Amino acid sequence: MKKTSIYHQPSFHYLLDSEAQEETREEYDDKQVVTEIMARCFIPTSITTTSWESFHFIGHEIRITEAMDCYGAVVWPSALVLCYFLETNAKQYNMVDKNVIEIGAGTGLVSIVASLLGAHVTATDLPELLGNLQYNISRNTKMKSKHLPQMWSTLILSWKSSSLPLTICAKKPPSSSGP
């Protein structure tokens, strides 16, 4: 299965002043993204045993392998919304050399986009999801990112448990400085 994100701009933009153009473009882009996200569906195929989707963010094609038998190995709509936000606000929220930790990274799409934007990324998830997470991140960031993302398995954290850990620690990337 292959899905791509394609952002079109209405052809009547040249008729509007520059401020109205920007407002209309943003409104149109947001509506288009919502439509694309809501239209996502899984279509099983007997041609291949691997299910993957293709996304376009930050000028890169990002191919994500999914597993439909596990809730942590699919691309959720919230991941697409966050990736779109990071891409469209890249100048306002400069990610270069920032430390990012993604808890419950799943397929790793958000970690990949943050890494392509120049962030030091630590992606975490349960041990049974790390193989797919590592595959997706390596495939999409190797030789493309300033910093290669780190991946860690995590302990199961039950929010219903009465004994929650008091702190959560993340390993700081070697080249970062400060607290």
Q: Which domains does the chain have, with CATH numbers?
A: 21-153 (3.40.50.150)
Tens digit of pLDDT at every position of the chain (179 positions) = 234 433 333 333 344 445 555 555 566 677 777 777 666 654 555 555 556 788 999 899 999 988 766 667 788 899 999 999 999 999 999 999 999 999 889 999 999 999 999 999 999 888 888 888 999 999 999 988 888 888 777 656 555 665 545 444 444 445 544 44
* Amino acid present at 137: I
**pLDDT of res. 73:** 79
- Given this model, what pLDDT does residue 145 score? 87
| pLDDT attached to residue 178 | 46
pLDDT of residue 6: 35
Q: What are the CA-CA distances from residue 67 to residues 72, 90, 102, 142, 170 (Å)?
A: 8, 30, 19, 22, 27
Q: What is the per-residue burial (b if ≥16 Cβ within 10 Å, else e) of 31-57?
A: ebbeebbeeeeeeeeeeeeebebebeb
The helix (run of H) or strand (run of E) holding residue 63 is strand 60-66
pLDDT at 30: 74
- The pLDDT assigned to 24 comes to 55
Mapped onto helix, strand or coil, the DSSP state of residue 151 is: strand
Q: Say what the alpha-carbon torsion angle 110, 116, 120, 122 is, to the nearest 10 degrees.
A: 30
